Structure formats: C-alpha cells, structure tokens
Structure 1
Amino acid sequence: MQTILGSGGIIGTQLAQELTTYTKKIRLVSRHPKLVNTGDEVFPANLLDIKETQKALNGSSIAYLTIGFPYKTRIWQEAWPKIMNNVIKTCSEQNIKLVFFDNVYMYDTFHIGHMTESTPVLPVSKKGKVRALIAEKLMEATAKKKLNALIARSADFYGPSTPMKSIMTEMVFKPLSKGKSAKWFGNSHCPHSFTYTPDAGKATAMLGNTPDAFNQVWHLPTAPNPPSGKEWIHMVAKEMSVSPHYQTIPKWIFNISEIFVPFMRELNEMLYQYEQPYVFDSKKFEELFFFKPTSYLEGIRRIIKKDYRYKAAQKDDLLFGTK
C-alpha cells in the first residue's frame, strides 16, 4: 500500500495517477478524499490527530506528504509542526518510508538565483521559517535512523487544471484567456523557474519507488533557462493568439494593500522571489533518472490545449454565428 497524505491538491492528484505504474494499492487521505483512479482507497482523516494519522497510514509501505494548507502564516505555524511530528512518529513506529513534497521558501534569499539541493537554508519569511523547521525535523529523524525519508522539492509550479494556488494560472493564463491584461509581481525582467506539475507528480512517484533515493533532498525536474516574467507573458499570449498586455504590480502597492487585504499581507513577504532571478537547478535528478523536464513552451501549449482551447473555440463560434 502506498498512501498519499493530502491527496486533494494538484500534486496529490498527479502523484496518484503516476503511482499506478508501481502499485495497485493506493490510499488517498484527506479530510474529504476523492477517487483519482478506479480501485483507489479513500480514507477521510484529520492528520492533526495522531490516532487518525496512525489509522490512515496503517499497512502502508510508502507515505507521501503532499498537504497544501491555506496561504495563511498562522495556519502554517500551528498546523505544520504538529502534522510533521505525527507523520514522523507514525512512519517510524510502522516502518513506513516517507516522501515529503516541499518548496523552496527556506532557501537563503541571496542564493535563489541558482538553487541546488545544497543551497544554504536561511529563510527571511515567516512561512519560510516554518518550512525550514519541518524539513529539519524530517532530516534529523533520518540522521538518527528513526526512519527512511526524502524531501522532493519543487519550484513554483504551473500545469494543466492547476488550482488557484498557482500564481501563473491566476495572473497570466486566466486573464489573457479572457482578453484582459496579465499581471506580474516585482521585476518582470528577472528569470523565474516554474516546475511543470505532471513532471513533479511523475518524479515524486519515481523517487518514492527508488530505494537508493532516500535520506536525501531532491529537486524535482524543472526546465533550465527560465523565461523572465515578461517572456512568460509573451509566450502564453502568442500561443493564445492574444495581445501580450500586462501590468507590473510594484511592492508599494502591497505595502498599502496589506493593511486592508489579508491575502496581500500573506503574499508580501514572499515578493523577494519576484524581485531578483529565481532559478531552480534539477540536474541531480535529471542525470540519475535520465529525465528531461518538459520545456516551458511545450508546457504552455499543453495547458492551453487542455484548459483554454475549448473556451477559445466557443468564443470563435459565438463571434462567427456558428452556435
């Protein structure tokens, strides 16, 4: 049995699809789990409760922690340490391998222009400090031989049917598809890496089913030479056959807006990632697994084909009176 803790998000869903290559026994755990593949086992559980965590993982050989909490610092600070403690304790007691899907918030801001698995950990944000804390807990447990675990780390992500947690979806794809101006934070001339979610799901499944991959950190496959914000917008606009109009939202807007809009306050502390080059290096994974990440242009084309092509066709039909 391979179990996904936090199965409802885009990564959990992609991972569930990819795990069918390795097992027929997949358990999906969340507060309100839904089937992904025929034959999946759905298991409702609150992972803040140690007893429910133990029941959810009972009989598992590998666990994947892919939970995505609301983008609120207070929730992260309260929930993440509890859940990580519960999962580490349970996996240790039941001899379950653990794969933790992580982000890059804990990295030193002065090194995000070229991030590797050895990039210094020195978070400047409250959310980054939470991520650093729980990653440290996990790696300490592996160092003490309490369990076999690994960290699968992703850059910001984009992909088909990606929910609102993707800035690329909300700020670029959706507005351009509606004939509106795209938006970008900070400096639109800085390169910014994005991990393609189908690649992330496939790679996470590969890592979980590779015994030698455990007890270390991995960067999930992400295309090299990332476009700048402006280049991202122009690429998407070109593939949609729309004008590449966009607005850059400066930091002072966030400083004012955060007084009135809670989400702007939550996002403000992460703006440093968009004010300088943000380049994610995944050569370690690519070279060991002979894996070529999906190119940015191909990723854009697949997203448009899956999520926006039908809407565009509907619009054309209405314009030309064929409906």
Structure 2
Amino acid sequence: MALHTILGAGGTMAHSLLAELSAQGQPVRLVSRRAAAVAGAQAVAADVTNLGQLRDALTGSTVVYLLVGLPYSTSEWQEKWPLIMRNTIEACKQVGARLVFFDNVYMYGLVRGAQTEETPFNPISKKGEVRAQIVGELLREMQAGSLPALVARSADFYGPHSTLQVSLINMLLFNNLAQGQPAQWFGNGEVPHSFGFTTDMSQALYRLVGDERAFGQTWHLPTAPHPPTITELVQLAAPQFQASPDLQIMSRAQVAAAAPQSPILAELLEMLYQYEEPYVFASSKFDRTYGVTPTPYAEGIRLAADDFKRQQSAV
C-alpha cells in the first residue's frame, strides 16, 4: 500500500488531507520540526532545511505532499523557501517518491480576468517573486522528466480544519461576528474574491495522486465559480452567528498607517492588490477532467461556520 507523507504537519491543509487519506484507509506519515502524536498517522521529526534529515524522513514514501507553511515574512521566505524546494526535490529523487507541491497564486501578480493554469507568471511582490522562483525550479524538473511531480494550486481557502491564524474568513469574519462585532476586511468589499473549500481540495489532492496522467502538470484545485464579494460572504455568514451583516473595510492608507506597529500588516501591504481588485480563480480543467462540482459558497460558509463553532467550543 502507498505511503503518503505530508511535509508541514501543523497547517490547515495538512489536517484536511490527513482526514481524507485516513477516510480512504491510506497510511500517512506526518513530518514536522517537532513530531507530535496524531491519531491515524506516524509522526516523524525532521528539519526540511537539512537534506539528510529530510531524506531519512521520506524513506519508504510513495508520494510526498509539500505543504510547509513558513511564517508570513518576506525575509524568511527568501532565505528558506529555495532551500526547502531544492531539498525536497533531491530527497524525493533519492528515495524514489513522487512529489505534490501545494502552491498559491502569488506568482501570477495582478490578473485581469480569471486565473487559470495558463496564466503567465508576473509577480508584483517580493513574496510572489519567491513563489515564482521555487515553482519554476520544480517545473523545470518536471519538464526534464527527472522527477514525477505535479503542482496543485489553490486560491485562498476556507472550510473545515481552518485555523484562526491562517484563515482570513475565520479570523476577520467568523470571529468578529461570533462576538457580535462587525466583520472586517481589507481593500475593497465589493469585488469578487475566490475561495477554495478545504474538503474539496483535500479530496482533489487524493484523486490527483491516484491518476498517472495528472503528473507532469499544474492543476488548479476545485473552486466554486462566480465568486461572491466579501459583502456577500458576510451576508451568508451572519445568520450562522445570529449576527448583523455589518462589515468594516480597512483601506490601503489605514493598513500602511498601522503597519509600523503590526508586523503582519506590514507583510500584507505588498499583497493588498489581491483584496483591492477582482480575484477570480478558475478550476475548470480539474472540474471537467474529473467531473467535479465544487462546493457552492452558501453551503461552504455554513459548513465552515459549523466547524469554527466546534473549534471554539472545544477551546
């Protein structure tokens, strides 16, 4: 039976993918800097910036999912991401594993129209430049036929297993509405913004690795079409918390003014274009190939809110 190894065991998508793999009866190994016991999986400690440790952690793996999440810091991304990608590629080669890279859309830059797998890389941020560099290295390996791999690209995401620290919908919408406060957002609340549903994406990852034809390609993971505005999302979310659908928008000027006192806002400033302009992510290639209908936003918000409330109750 195939051994599925997840690099970056603590994040939203790692938890979602673990749930999917476990439901499918697949053996799973979780690799993180500090191994923590998790039901249904083998936990292994390794530093992904150390090639020897990483190779040992991947030994015996059939497929490796690169889901590492670094702190949201440009300098840390510039220092560590190229090394992590090089090490992961080399370690997968040495142990004979296939590689799945869970990617974002930063390398596209500002896109007028829908983002697709054919959208050219045109980063307008330092973080986007890092992402273009590392995925470019993997694409060259794929094109050379030196490593069986695929790129699985995601829009912003929400849904079960989302953490307060990572999910903007959880942090800025659900958390505020649950406390009877206005939801918050950045940039512009009246432009469409795509979000992928976590369960859809983890199911898609499992489907891709089971299809030989999927390797050597880039795939946009299933995401519902016709994305709502943030104002419309708040209107969907508010009834789940018996709250008023009020929304406060932080402008670019306000973010810039607060940035000196907030490292996360300082890091967000160069990415604000994603929240000021339409952000439309298309997954029609995956949807057509596999006959999938992504979770509609109304249903997704209801399920995500239920999961958020379960997490809050547990705390």
Output the TM-score relative to the length of structure 1: 0.92
Is contact 1:8–1:34 with CA below 8 Å preserved after alignment? no
Cα distance in structure 1, aligned partners of 2:97 and 2:23:
20
Q: What are the equivalent positions in structure 2 for 1:47-62 lying under 5 Å apart? A: 47-62=48-63
Cα distance in structure 2, aligned partners of 1:3 and 1:260:
39
Deviations along 1:165-187, one digit per CA (max 9) or x if unpaired, are 11111110110011001111111
Deviations along 1:111-135, one digit per CA (max 9) or x if unpaired, are 3x31111111010011111111100
Q: Percent identity?
A: 43
Cα distance in structure 2, aligned partners of 1:34 and 1:200:
24
Q: What is the DSSP-based 3-state SS (H/G/I as helix, E as strand, rest coil) of the residue aligned with 1:184? A: strand
Indicate yes or no: 2:147 matched with 1:127.
no
Q: What is the DSSP-based 3-state SS (H/G/I as helix, E as strand, rest coil) of the residue aligned with 1:298? A: helix
Q: What are the equivalent positions in structure 2 for 1:214-293 lying under 5 Å apart? A: 214-293=215-294
Q: What are the equivalent positions in structure 2 for 1:124-203 lying under 5 Å apart? A: 124-163=124-163, 164-203=165-204
Q: What is the DSSP-based 3-state SS (H/G/I as helix, E as strand, rest coil) of the residue aligned with 1:106? A: helix
Give the structure 1 partner of residue 303 of structure 2.
302
Cα distance in structure 2, aligned partners of 1:12 and 1:280:
22
Structure 2: stretches of 5+ with no match in the other structure: none
Indicate yes or no: 2:25 matched with 1:17.
no
Counterpart of 1:292, as a letter, is T
Deviations along 1:74-131, one digit per CA (max 9) or x if unpaired, are 11111110010001011122221100000001103133x3111111101001111111
Total equivalences in the alignment: 310
Aligned-residue RMSD, C-alpha: 1.6
Q: What is the DSSP-based 3-state SS (H/G/I as helix, E as strand, rest coil) of the residue aligned with 2:260? A: coil
Cα distance in structure 1, aligned partners of 2:39 and 2:292:
25
Is contact 2:16–2:160 with CA below 8 Å preserved after alignment? no
Is contact 1:28–1:35 with CA below 8 Å preserved after alignment? no
Cα distance in structure 2, aligned partners of 1:115 and 1:80:
23
Give the structure 2 partner of residue 2 of structure 1.
4
Cα distance in structure 2, aligned partners of 1:63 and 1:306:
27
Cα distance in structure 2, aligned partners of 1:200 and 1:34:
24
Cα distance in structure 2, aligned partners of 1:150 and 1:126:
24
Structure 1: stretches of 5+ with no match in the other structure: 313-323
Could you tell which deviates more after superposition, 14-23 or 287-296? 14-23
Is contact 1:16–1:36 with CA below 8 Å preserved after alignment? no
Is contact 1:17–1:36 with CA below 8 Å preserved after alignment? no
Is contact 1:183–1:249 with CA below 8 Å preserved after alignment? yes
Cα distance in structure 2, aligned partners of 1:24 and 1:118:
33
Output the TM-score relative to the length of structure 2: 0.94
